[in-house]
Amino acid sequence: MKSEHFVQLGVNWASPVLLLCFVSVLLQIVQRCFAGYLMRWGFAMSRDEIEVDEDLPSFFTVMRLAQRDQLIAMSYNMKENFGFEFTDPDTIKALEKAAFPSKTIVGTPWYSILSNTTYQNQFQYTGSFVTEREKLINDGYGLPDPADDKE
């Protein structure tokens, strides 16, 4: 039994897909065959090859001390008050034992809104390092009325 699933040149519902397939194959051929020319003419992502420093230090030795302390304090707070660990315990031990950083990660790879004190103040964030922070946090619910307990 013939399926009639062959390429048919003509205008039908599948014509746009066939056209896109031909164009994508053509672009792949052009990119592979003329890569050098495209790079010289400026039709490439970068003129230079990206160099990656593969001799990067351990993540734990390039974190700022304040960020280490923040993660450690948050981990202990979650475990003590809520009974669960959001970070691997081995990670917390490595953070506690890590040496003083000679270089630190700055910018996008390790950026947290809460690392910026201006944002902390604007969002009224109370960190886990604040003692008795539960007294400062208002969740929007009032205290229970003692009269409701008598019913």
Give the contacts of 57 (CB within 8 A, at least 6 positions apart). 103
| pTM for the whole structure | 0.40
pLDDT at residue 150 in the model: 60
Please report whether residue 151 resides in a domain.
no
Q: Are residues 79 and 31 in the same domain?
A: no
CB 88 within 8 A of CB 129: no
Q: Are residues 32 and 67 in the same domain?
A: no
At 47, list the tokens.
């003129």
Q: Are residues 45 and 66 in the same domain?
A: no
Q: Are residues 68 and 125 in the same domain?
A: yes
pLDDT tens column, 51-100: 666 666 777 777 888 888 888 888 888 888 888 887 788 888 888 888 88
pLDDT tops 90 at residue 25: yes
Q: Are residues 20 and 3 in the same domain?
A: yes
pLDDT at residue 63 in the model: 80
Q: Are residues 129 and 65 in the same domain?
A: yes
List the domain range (segments joined by +) for residue 63.
59-135
Q: Are residues 24 and 7 in the same domain?
A: yes
Q: Are residues 35 and 65 in the same domain?
A: no
Q: Are residues 71 and 5 in the same domain?
A: no
Q: Are residues 33 and 96 in the same domain?
A: no
CB 70 within 8 A of CB 114: yes
Candidates 129, 27, 39; CA nearest to 19 is 27
For the chain, the domain total comes to: 2
